[in-house]
């Protein structure tokens, strides 16, 4: 993809952020409330409407690192999933919490969706299963066996995509939620770190540890549109190129363009339809572990922290640990050369 490096400008640091690396970020669909899932075993909610640096609104404590989070459709209830093998729900209006899911191993991913006007929760675990939960009952509504441990998962409309160990990708049509519609192996050669569905649910993007992204369409008739590209890599030195993990992919809610965030500490905005990098940002000082756009696409949040890509020895108390807020302005995320919105 073509690119243009531009100077970065100071972004805003979230006040009173977590004390360990961010596992996931999610904005409420109803307000500028940001959920931050962290390895310090807490899911925190920040209100960005009154202060540009954010104000702590509520939190849930777990018995292990919190790996993922998701808002329900009403924008007032948020769920988080944890290494402690549970998922819990917080109502930010009342402060009430409840356990809503459990697995035999840590729950890596959690998403919300609707079936027959009923809101459900999907959880993906290292126990190699997806479970569906009706919040009105304690037992799972159904369990789906996966090829391997669940590493990443996303939902958009009726499309659910699961990325597992051994580079498997499994697609589910939520009109038939207990049936695996398609199982394929990643077009990327190394471990998948993240999967994110297109806005129109026609396909999904994946990022891997090798500094590559791949775009896959669900319909076989669109397979000619599939492509991969290199990103989050240093310029070659003596024929050697340093590559970095792609840890986060987020789609802009209005334009359908997308962001990538990597272990090299950079994030970029891209237009997949014109195969163009819209804007590149300089390194932020540490690995980017998670990202999210708010509901109208005017704020881009990203977490800076150690992602373990270099092993235990590179983690230290001085490693940067922040949640940053980038105001999206001008043409930063507007597509070029195409009016398509994916």
- Calculated CA dihedral for residues 73, 293, 65, 85, nearest 10 degrees: 30
The pLDDT of residue 47 is above 90: yes
Q: How many CB atoms lie within 10 A of CB 269?
A: 24
DSSP string, 6-19: ------EEPTT--S
- Which token pair is 203? 């396909």
pLDDT bin (cut points 50, 70, 90) of residue 54 is: confident
The pLDDT of residue 340 is above 70: no
- Which token pair is 301? 């949040």
pLDDT digits (tens, 9 = 90+) for 193-243: 999 999 999 999 999 999 999 999 999 999 899 999 999 887 777 777 788
Q: What is the pTM of this model?
A: 0.92
Asked if 34 and 46 count as a contact pair (C-beta separation under 8 A), the reply is: yes
77 DSSP assignment: E
Angle (CA) 320-270-321 rounded to 5° is: 10
Please give the order of strands across the beta sheet that includes 33-38.
22-27, 33-38, 42-47, 55-61
pLDDT bin (cut points 50, 70, 90) of residue 309 is: low
Q: What's the confidence (pLDDT) of residue 198? A: 97
| Backbone torsion region of residue 78, taken as left when φ is above 0, otherwise alpha when ψ lies between -120 and 50, otherwise beta | beta
Q: Which residues, 6+ apart, have CB-to-CB distance to 53 below 8 Å?
A: 12, 13, 14, 15, 325
Q: What's the confidence (pLDDT) of residue 313? A: 61
Please give the order of strands across the beta sheet that includes 267-271.
246-251, 258-262, 267-271, 276-280
Return d(Cα 233, Cα 207) in angstroms, integer.
13
pLDDT digits (tens, 9 = 90+) for 21-39: 999 999 999 999 999 999 9
Write down the mean pLDDT value for the chain: 91
Q: What's the confidence (pLDDT) of residue 1? A: 47
Residue written as token pair 């373990």: 308
Q: Which residues, 6+ apart, have CB-to-CB distance to 173 below 8 Å?
A: 158, 159, 160, 179, 181
Asked if 229 and 235 count as a contact pair (C-beta separation under 8 A), the reply is: no
Q: What's the confidence (pLDDT) of residue 50? A: 83
């Amino acid at each position: 993809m073509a690119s243009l490096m531009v100077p970065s400008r100071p972004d805003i640091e979230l006040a009173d952020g977590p004390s360990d690396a961010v596992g996931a970020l999610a904005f409420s669909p109803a307000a500028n409330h940001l959920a931050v899932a962290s390895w310090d075993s807490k899911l925190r909610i920040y209100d960005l409407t009154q202060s540009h640096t954010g104000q702590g609104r509520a939190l849930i404590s777990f018995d292990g690192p919190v790996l993922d989070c998701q808002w329900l459709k009403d924008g007032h209830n948020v769920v988080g999933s944890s290494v402690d093998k549970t998922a819990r729900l917080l109502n930010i209006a009342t402060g009430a919490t409840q356990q809503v899911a459990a697995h035999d191993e840590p729950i890596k991913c959690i998403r919300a969706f609707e079936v027959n006007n009923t809101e459900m929760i999907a959880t993906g675990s290292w126990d190699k299963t997806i479970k569906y939960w009706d919040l009105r009952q304690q037992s799972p509504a159904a369990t789906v066996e996966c090829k391997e441990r669940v590493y990443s998962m996303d939902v958009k409309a009726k499309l659910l995509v699961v990325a597992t160990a051994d580079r498997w990708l499994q697609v589910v049509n939520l009109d038939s939620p207990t049936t695996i519609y398609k199982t394929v192996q990643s077009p990327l050669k190394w471990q998948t770190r993240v999967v994110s569905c297109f806005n129109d649910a026609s396909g999904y993007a994946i990022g891997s540890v090798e500094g590559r992204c791949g775009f896959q369409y669900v319909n076989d008739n669109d397979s000619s549109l599939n492509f991969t590209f290199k990103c989050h890599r240093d310029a070659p030195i003596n024929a050697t190129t340093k590559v970095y993990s792609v840890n986060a992919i987020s789609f802009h809610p209005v334009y359908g363009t997308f962001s990538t965030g990597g272990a090299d500490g950079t994030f970029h905005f891209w237009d997949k339809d014109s195969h163009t990098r819209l804007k590149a940002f300089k390194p932020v000082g540490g690995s980017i572990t998670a990202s999210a756009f708010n509901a109208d696409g005017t704020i881009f949040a990203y977490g800076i922290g150690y992602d373990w890509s270099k092993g235990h020895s590179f983690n230290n108390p001085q490693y940067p640990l922040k949640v940053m807020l980038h105001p999206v302005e001008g043409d930063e995320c507007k597509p070029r050369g195409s009016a398509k919105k994916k």
